[in-house]
Copies of this chain bind each other. A is one copy, B any other.
């Protein structure tokens, strides 16, 4: 937890001592009354929190806010809904890496039950975004959706920029050899936008491939090695960020 993040509604009331952030302030950062720590308002500014008081029940904090951090990177992920344990890692890691949006969909070769996980129904998914942002010293959370079909997601995404789909089977080119529209670096930020689609573990169906191609996606691969989905996400985002000069 490099940055301790708060929702706007959490700023005024005291922080319960059983909250993990209270334990972090007292036991990891070892802050005493009068001392301060790096804090952030979710999707808002970064600043300093100061420990004003401690008792058995709660911490009283005050905050001084500075500037808002820069926008997230112009990268959106479209992901076949993976098993919940993989989704947790991807939510946290992709947030730490700075992607702007994650759109999960039930793919034809995927497991539809994954959408019933408590990860999605209880709001747990947001905790992993907050952990990823806190790790990256950022306040901004990406947009996350998991209920739209692939076709609807593709229509909703920006049409400018570059659209790439990772595919171990039918892709003619390596991601590293693919041109990304960075020439427009001084033009609209949308021109630099990259949509990166990753299928589920079992791969894309023929219909999904046709849909991706019809929507302007180039199929690319990450080399001959078979990677776990979360490793492929981190690797592909890193290569795209490097191409955009962001890493």
A binding-site residues for B, Cβ under 8 Å = 2, 93, 96-98, 135-138, 174-177, 222-228, 231, 234-239, 241-243, 245-247
Contact = CB atoms under 8 A, between A and B. Distances in A.
A227 B92 CA distance: 11
| Most B CB within 10 A of own CB, among A93, A138, A225, A228 | A225
B234 A137 contact: no
B236 A135 contact: no
This chain: copies in complex: 2
A245 B177 contact: yes
Given A98-B223, A174-B247, 12 more contacts: A98-B225, A135-B226, A136-B225, A136-B227, A137-B224, A174-B242, A176-B243, A234-B238, A235-B241, A236-B238, A239-B242, A242-B242
Contacts of A2: 226
19 contacts: A96-B225, A96-B226, A96-B227, A97-B227, A97-B231, A97-B235, A136-B227, A137-B226, A138-B225, A176-B242, A176-B243, A176-B245, A177-B245, A223-B241, A231-B234, A234-B234, A236-B238, A238-B239, A239-B239
B93 A231 contact: yes
